[in-house]
Structure 1
Amino acid sequence: MFLRPHPDSPSPVTRIEVEMLREAPDLLTLIYSIFGDLEGVSFPPAQASARTDDLWKHTCFEVFLGAEQGYCEYNFSPSSQWAAYRFDGHRAGMRDAPTADPSIEWRTDDGGGVLSVTLRLPPDVTGWLGLSAIIEDTNGNRSFWALAHPAGAPDFHHAACFAAELPPAG
Structure 2
Amino acid sequence: MQTHELIAHPAFPPLAVSSVDARVLQRDSQWLRVRWRIENTGRLVLPPFVGRKRRDELWKTTCFEIFLKEPGTQSYTEWNLSPSEGWNAYDFEDYRDGIRERHVPRAPDCTMRPGKAFAVFDAAIPANVISEGAQEMGITCVLEEEGGVKSFWAMKHAKDQPDFHDPACFAARLAAPSAP
The TM tier, using the shorter chain, reads: over 0.9
In structure 2, C-alpha distance between the alignment counterparts of 1:135 and 1:107, rounded to whole Å: 15
TM-score (norm 2): 0.87
Residues 161 and 35 from structure 1, CA distance in 2 versus in 1: closer, same or farther, beyond 3 angstroms? same
Matched-pair contact (CA < 8 Å) for 2:144–2:150:
yes
Q: How many residues align?
A: 169
In structure 1, C-alpha distance between the alignment counterparts of 2:103 and 2:171, rounded to whole Å: 25
* Superposition deviation, residue 159 in structure 1: 0.5
Structure with more of its chain in strand, by fraction: 1
Matched-pair contact (CA < 8 Å) for 2:12–2:152:
yes
User: Structure 2: which 5+ runs fail to align?
Assistant: none
In structure 2, C-alpha distance between the alignment counterparts of 1:140 and 1:106, rounded to whole Å: 20
Q: Deviations over 1:117-163 (max 9, x none)?
A: 11024235430010100011211121100011113211000000000
Amino acid across the alignment from 2:46: F
SS of 2:110's equivalent? strand
SS of 1:119's equivalent? strand
* Superposition deviation, residue 10 in structure 1: 1.4
* Pairing 1:141-152 to 2, within 5 Å after superposition: 141-152=149-160
Partner residue of 2:115 out of 109, 114, 126? 109
Residues 23 and 158 from structure 1, CA distance in 2 versus in 1: closer, same or farther, beyond 3 angstroms? closer
State the identity as a percent. Answer: 33
Partner residue of 1:13 out of 6, 14, 17? 17
Partner residue of 1:138 out of 146, 159, 175? 146
Partner residue of 2:95 out of 90, 96, 112? 90
* Superposition deviation, residue 41 in structure 1: 1.6
Residues 133 and 149 from structure 1, CA distance in 2 versus in 1: closer, same or farther, beyond 3 angstroms? same
Matched-pair contact (CA < 8 Å) for 2:132–2:176:
no
* Superposition deviation, residue 5 in structure 1: 0.5
Matched-pair contact (CA < 8 Å) for 2:132–2:177:
no
Please give the root-mean-square deviation of Cα atoms over the aligned residues, in Å.
1.6
TM-score (norm 1): 0.92
In structure 2, C-alpha distance between the alignment counterparts of 1:106 and 1:158, rounded to whole Å: 27
Partner residue of 1:155 out of 158, 163, 176? 163
SS of 1:40's equivalent? coil
